[in-house]
A = this chain, B = another copy of it.
Amino acid sequence: MPRIEQDIVQKRCYSGLMRSESHALQCENCPVRDRAACASLDDEQRAQLRTIGRDVQYATGETIFHADDAAARCATLLEGLLKLVDRDSEGVERIVALIHPAGFVGELFAPFERFEVVALTPARLCMFDRPRYEDMASRYSELASGLARRAMVHLEEARALIGMIGRRGAKEKLAALLVELARAAGPSPCKPIDRLDLPLSREEIAALLGVNIETISRQFGVLEREGLIERQGLRTIIIHDMQRLSALAD
């Protein structure tokens, strides 16, 4: 068996067994307590929820859910950044969503996972047994409506991404992505940061924006030559002119 496949099997086992690094849930100091699907549960309900979930950590690059696996678990992201990956028939990766903290992953109400879920940074998740989570959602309307609210947020994000990808040049798409990442990295959406550590490789950016990797490289060069950004090393960029960058992004 080739080395890489062994690794994959290894990871599957770990996540299937709900990895040994997991801990009991500590809702008191949960960083997304106010925005996650479970936000409006009362203490009693939250105690119930705690019994079916674990606090689990993943390293950068680790696969959390595999496409086509039975959908046995679901999770709320506490810290870090995830990608949802779709693959075409030739196995080419296409990223269909980025999941930020408070985001929800796992295909509820569906038999199989449709997309692969991978950690782009070290990530911490609130991992639940899916059948029992669905069961709780059908008993507690607070959880169900929190879930609906979450799904609506993700839905709007997905549709905004569709609007961004369709029509418009590579430069504009890249600008839009940088603006979004800067917003997400900042303390609040209205105060984006100017020093940005990219959580995505060039290849991943390409897979997200629907262009190829060389084009991404060139557009970084263009943006830099025009003074909008500055590259420092491979993964960090300084945003010099957020004004014009946002204008490009639309």
Contacts and interface: CB of A to CB of B under 8 A. Distances in A.
Given A141-B137, A142-B138, A158-B162, A152 B151 contact: yes
Interface in A191-250: 207-210, 250
Consensus secondary structure, chain A interface: helix
Contacts of A161: 162
A86 B159 CA distance: 9
A108 B141 contact: no
Contacts of A145: 134, 137-138, 144, 147-148
Contacts of A159: 84, 86, 96-97, 114-115, 158
A89 interface: yes
A33 interface: no
Contact of A141 (B115, B144, B158): B144
Interface residues of A, number: 48
A86 B143 CA distance: 30
Interface string A54-88: 00000000000000000000000000000010101
Task: Name which of A108, A141, A155 has the most chain B CB atoms within 10 A of its CB.
Answer: A155
Contact of A250 (B88, B155, B209): B88
26 contacts: A84-B159, A86-B159, A86-B162, A88-B167, A88-B168, A94-B166, A94-B167, A96-B160, A97-B159, A107-B152, A107-B156, A114-B159, A134-B145, A141-B143, A145-B147, A145-B148, A148-B148, A151-B151, A155-B158, A161-B162, A162-B165, A165-B166, A166-B207, A166-B209, A167-B207, A167-B210
By Cβ-Cβ distance, the 7 closest A-B pairs, closest first, are A166-B210, A144-B144, A151-B151, A141-B141, A158-B158, A86-B163, A144-B145
